[in-house]
Amino acid sequence: MEMDEKLHGFVVGSVPTVIYIPEFINDSEQTQLLNHIYQAPISKWKTLKNRRLQNWGGVVHEKGLISQDLPPWLTKITQRIHEELGIFPAAPNHVLINEYQPDQGIMPHQDGPAYFPAASILSLKSPVVMNFTPHLKLSECGGTAESEAIPQNSEQSTVPLNSHNSFSLLLMPRSLLIFKDLAYSDYLHGIEDNAVQPFDGAVNLTEAVKDSGFNDLLPRLTCAEESSSGDAKTLCRTAKRVSLTCRLVLKVRKNLIRI
């Protein structure tokens, strides 16, 4: 599917295709999303070893999505991603919401084969550094996406082909990250389990710094020893991060019996 021409200005890095859109939503929209997320029943949360998550849209099965309708507050976001960006052939029908404590991350992994080969991640609350690492071809049952609602040990990683081809992104609050093409098929993505993360090599650093909220966040972003020396290149995570991973499952099933 052809990428919308207006997105070319948001492409970052040299690996096809990584798109970073600062301030995709505004402060009010972020607050509304967080209110909906934290008003969900406690039973909606699933606690994993290094984070907790909510699964919306149904269960991703090896033969398709056992679907449930998304709530209106999520449909609003998925429809906007589809209509404004033209990345997906239809609105994403599956959303996984992750909550990370300041020292929590997710091991390098790849999205499973059930999804249309593109992922969109909306970041809320706290900045984070996401790393992309080239990998050997994963098996057909591969790893899971940034938030798969299945056991932690199912997230499979492998040995990097060439660490010099690795890259990272600084994901600011309210930004949208999209990756497809080689960035989706040939790279693992993950977040270090570390409250201190370097971001001076981020391929989207210029775009992130242009974010209108960057200067306000900078004193809280940078570690004391770094900021005192004037070299603000290290992120100190001091608050929770919430992310919405919105993806499209092409095969939709109404129930398991017919599979």
Distances (CA, A) of 95 to 7, 91, 240: 22, 11, 19
Is residue 143 in some structural domain?
A: no
Give the pLDDT confidence score for residue 112 in this predicted structure: 80
Is residue 151 in some structural domain?
A: no
pLDDT category, 5, cuts 50, 70, 90? confident
Across the chain, where does the E strand assignment appear?
A: 18-21, 45-47, 52-56, 58-61, 64-67, 94-100, 106-109, 118-124, 128-134, 167-171, 176-180, 187-191, 196-198, 234-236, 241-247, 252-253
The Cα 238–Cα 235 span in angstroms is 9
Instruction: State pLDDT tens for residues 112-167.
Output: 888 999 999 999 999 999 999 998 764 334 444 444 433 333 344 444 444 448 99
Q: How many domains is the chain built from?
A: 1
pLDDT category, 42, cuts 50, 70, 90? very high
Is residue 150 in some structural domain?
A: no
DSSP state, 20? Answer: E
Q: Answer whether 51's CB lies under 8 Å from 106's CB.
A: yes
Assess whether pLDDT exceeds 60 at residue 213: yes
Assess whether pLDDT exceeds 70 at residue 180: yes
More confidently predicted of 59 and 210: 59
Is residue 200 in some structural domain?
A: yes
Q: Which two tokens stand for residue 257?
A: 């019996």
Is residue 156 in some structural domain?
A: no
Nearest CA to 174 among 111, 232, 118, 128? 128
Q: Which residues pair with 169 in a beta bridge?
A: 130
The Cα 199–Cα 170 span in angstroms is 6
Q: Which residues pair with 191 in a beta bridge?
A: 106
Averaged over 45-55, what is the pLDDT?
A: 94
- Residue 203's domain spans which residues? 5-136+165-251
Which CATH number characterizes residue 114's domain?
2.60.120.590
The alpha carbon dihedral of 46, 50, 56, 62 has a sign of: negative
Give helix 27-39 / helix 72-85 axis angle, nearest 10°.
140
Is residue 257 in some structural domain?
A: no
